[in-house]
Chains A and B, each alone.
Chain A
């Protein structure tokens, strides 16, 4: 009776109010197979998987597990079926160890034999090639270790159908490779694996088959070996898009920002930025590359006056004026001096915007201080919000809709739109296209180019080297808080940058 399909979905639909998140989706994954679900942001990938894992209940359609029709009303129903989902945001208790988290909520003998649990975990780890310390506390773990705990938790509970929601978004390239190795081992052991992603190279590297969704509709499933980047992109976006990013030549670059020997130390006493020096010019885009957590955040925040500097100096060269030392200034003081410095932080809804507030209130984050003592001006921000909706083609019911309800691309447009509206002289953007679909990403690239042509010094932290190489004029590479090189983006190669990203050069690695 055993069907080759671990999971089969037939005509699954899900609506949220007026929005159709999934429209009659048909999909199947076999045992011993890795299926990649590919789609732009908002194409309904996560919604679909949430229905398999019991978080949502489908409005229509049937789900079959190993050939039998099932009803999954909650994650409690999904577990006995062997379905385990690893979410983008981990669901672990920080103060407990890996082993404790893994057995948390499981029924068993009254007396917990944690050694036996640890042995079983080690066996699983050995079987699939995980690297896990059962007695390490979660708060001491890196993101990738936490992810390992989540995966082992599912396997420990007997899951043989694993769903991973964008597992590589938070990983370094090396960690991604390690994860892929483990996933291949799990597939070879006969498990069915579904991986949600929008990174094409990962799809091609890892999966056996690819199912493509587009705007909530099922486009089709193809064998990975028959697919190419171009063919998948075409399926994903509906029509062929050009992968070329425009790069106009810089118009007479002028010195705008000089960073000398800046060092930052975080609350835990770890050096996050180590004697970083560079210059940024108006009229060019300076890319900043590096493995996640190499000091990119601190670099931008120290310039913006949000992170205190241990030592070093930052000079700002305004157009037609004397240089100013902004090393010791806070964000408030910088803006009070009339320095037009704009910053699009990595954490859009946690720092740049307030998700629960509407667009007008979010525009006011930058402007509410203007005017008299008591009243806050709401009229100018409202006009600005309407202007941004119009020029950046933001899809929203109106200026009074909370920005947290918009899609990722539109949220980023709101943020970038606000930051460039103040006519900045320096524009810093961190991971500007992370989580955005291709069309939104191109909109952002062209916005950055427009700023560059206006003579703005653009600093762009990115993770996709292809994009940085195509968009930027120069690329600064960070490794372990150090600037390991600044290269000409027109002539540099990916390999060159990759080397700078992973080698500090002088063998001065931190111990332990």
Chain B
């Protein structure tokens, strides 16, 4: 080691911070990254399976958006993933690690199902929807506020707390499933109100998932505005950046923590409503399907920009849907597509380094 040092060798690579990477340049870097990712994926596909990578890619595209129905399923799942990510964003902006999205979604879904099962036929349709939404929002809110209360009061670790709340929610759903079992012995709730479709979100503008689309897009836009231009958005940012500064500015930090988690939980609960009323029409312990965790990836990949989240959640859902297709079409394991997704994510995340830093080689520096 010591001998090396005295050899007076410069390091081969030299890394320095980039001043400011222009928007176009950043886009170009990202496009190059995706192109490289596809090339690498192609090599991997050929090496592992001997299949024509172009055909595999075509399979992915076909599976995700190949038919009108497939396209809409992809959009539907994108929307629910997007809404969870949007819901988590205010908490993350506050540096409150809400990893309890899964539980908050589940509990919202359970509340929706409870109202659907118990009040179908007893309430007029508009009122039934209001009751379902209110129940879902309230349930998610409660699930989000409990860890926030403990954080505000006793500074407990919110990561563990929200994570544990997920398991409580799952067990609670398991209990409800037994309670609402239909038909008896199936160990599932089945399709709720299959006959009269009471409490099912109706088509809007002739689109099956029209309501999902409208609700999620509006909330995405709202969250963007809320965080960027509202007073409460600023309070969240100050608390997230520095609790001391927030106190100095006369912000009641505890109120902000509780209020923000109420919003975060409420929107997760609303996702539960959309999953039950707007797509699945049933309830099970796996209903949230890991969205609470995938949404964390979506939120941070998008740097907490809700509009970027649209793209990211679409990309992830697109790849997931494509996976199912190539699994059956080429009799590959479903994990094949996850490898592709992983490689793409690796490149997309990795290219951020080249946007933020400049890498120079030894010989170039000597000349300059």
Name A residues whose Cβ lies closer than 8 Å to a Cβ of B. 15-18, 57, 59, 62, 68-73, 76-77, 80-81, 306, 330-332, 335, 343, 345, 347, 350-357, 361, 364-366, 368-369, 373-376, 378
Contacts and interface: CB of A to CB of B under 8 A. Distances in A.
Given A331-B250, A332-B252, A350-B244, A70 B238 contact: no
Nearest to B19: A17
Contacts of A366: 249
A72 B18 CA distance: 23
Given A364-B234, A368-B234, A376-B230, A347 B244 contact: yes
A110 B292 CA distance: 45
Interface in B1-33: 1-2, 5-11, 14, 16-19
Contacts of A331: 247-248, 250
B8 A354 contact: no
A354 B18 CA distance: 22
A346 to B, nearest CB: 11
A32 to B, nearest CB: 23
B171 interface: no
Contacts of A76: 1
B5 A357 contact: no
A376 B233 contact: yes
A71 B7 contact: yes
B229 A378 contact: yes
B19 A18 contact: yes
Contact of B248 (A59, A68, A69, A345): A345
A248 to B, nearest CB: 30
Contacts of B245: 350-354, 365
Given A331-B250, A368-B231, A57 B5 contact: no
Contacts of A374: 230-232
B175 to A, nearest CB: 40
Nearest to A16: B17
Given A345-B248, A357-B241, A59 B5 contact: no
A70 B5 contact: yes
B320 interface: no
A376 B7 contact: no
Contacts of B230: 374-376
Given A18-B19, A80-B1, A365-B245, 6 more contacts: A16-B17, A57-B14, A71-B10, A335-B250, A352-B248, A354-B241
Contacts of B229: 375-376, 378
Given A350-B242, A374-B231, A376-B233, A365 B248 contact: yes
Contact of A376 (B231, B241, B242): B231
Contacts of A355: 241
Interface in B212-238: 229-235, 237-238
Residue of A343, A355, A369 contacting most chain B CB atoms (<10 Å): A369
Contacts of A361: 234, 237
Contact of A72 (B5, B14, B17, B244): B5
A81 B14 CA distance: 22
A351 B231 contact: no
Contact of B8 (A17, A71, A369): A71
Contacts of B18: 17
Contact of A80 (B2, B235, B237, B252): B2
Contacts of B8: 62, 69-71
Contacts of B234: 361, 364, 368, 376
A394 B16 CA distance: 26
Interface string B173-217: 000000000000000000000000000000000000000000000
A80 B244 contact: no
B334 to A, nearest CB: 41
Given A365-B238, A368-B234, A80 B5 contact: yes
9 contacts: A15-B16, A16-B16, A71-B8, A306-B248, A332-B250, A355-B241, A368-B231, A368-B249, A376-B234
B18 to A, nearest CB: 8
Nearest to B248: A351
Nearest to A331: B250
B211 to A, nearest CB: 26
Nearest to A78: B5
Contacts of A373: 231
B231 to A, nearest CB: 5
Contacts of B242: 350-351, 354
B191 to A, nearest CB: 41
Residue of B7, B8, B9, B235 contacting most chain A CB atoms (<10 Å): B8
Interface string B89-101: 0000000000000
A380 to B, nearest CB: 14
A335 B229 CA distance: 23
B247 A306 contact: yes
Contact of A343 (B233, B248, B365): B248
Contacts of A364: 234
Contacts of A353: 245
Contact of B241 (A71, A356, A368, A375): A356
Contacts of A80: 1-2, 5
B66 to A, nearest CB: 44
B205 to A, nearest CB: 30
B231 A375 contact: yes
Contacts of A343: 248
Nearest to A69: B8
Residue of A18, A72, A335, A376 contacting most chain B CB atoms (<10 Å): A376
A57 B2 CA distance: 17
Contacts of B11: 57, 73
Interface in B129-163: none
B132 to A, nearest CB: 27
A62 B251 CA distance: 52
Contacts of B365: 59
Interface string B317-330: 00000000000000
Contacts of A330: 250
Contacts of B233: 376
Contacts of B1: 76-77, 80
A476 to B, nearest CB: 23
A354 B10 CA distance: 38
Contact of A354 (B16, B238, B250): B238
A376 B235 CA distance: 10
A71 B237 CA distance: 43
Nearest first, the 8 closest Cβ-Cβ pairs linking A and B are: A332-B250, A17-B19, A354-B241, A365-B249, A351-B244, A331-B250, A376-B231, A80-B2
A433 to B, nearest CB: 20
Given A71-B10, A306-B247, A352-B245, A369 B231 contact: yes
A365 B246 CA distance: 8
A17 B17 contact: yes
Given A59-B365, A332-B250, A366-B249, A68 B6 contact: yes
Nearest to B235: A368
A166 B5 CA distance: 28
Contacts of A354: 237-238, 241-242, 245
Nearest to A301: B248
A127 to B, nearest CB: 26
B233 to A, nearest CB: 7
A376 B18 CA distance: 32
A350 B244 CA distance: 7
B307 to A, nearest CB: 19
Nearest to A60: B365
Nearest to A356: B241
A350 B19 CA distance: 25
A72 B10 CA distance: 9
Nearest to B2: A80
Nearest to A62: B8
A15 B358 CA distance: 13
A335 to B, nearest CB: 6
Nearest to B247: A306
A337 to B, nearest CB: 12
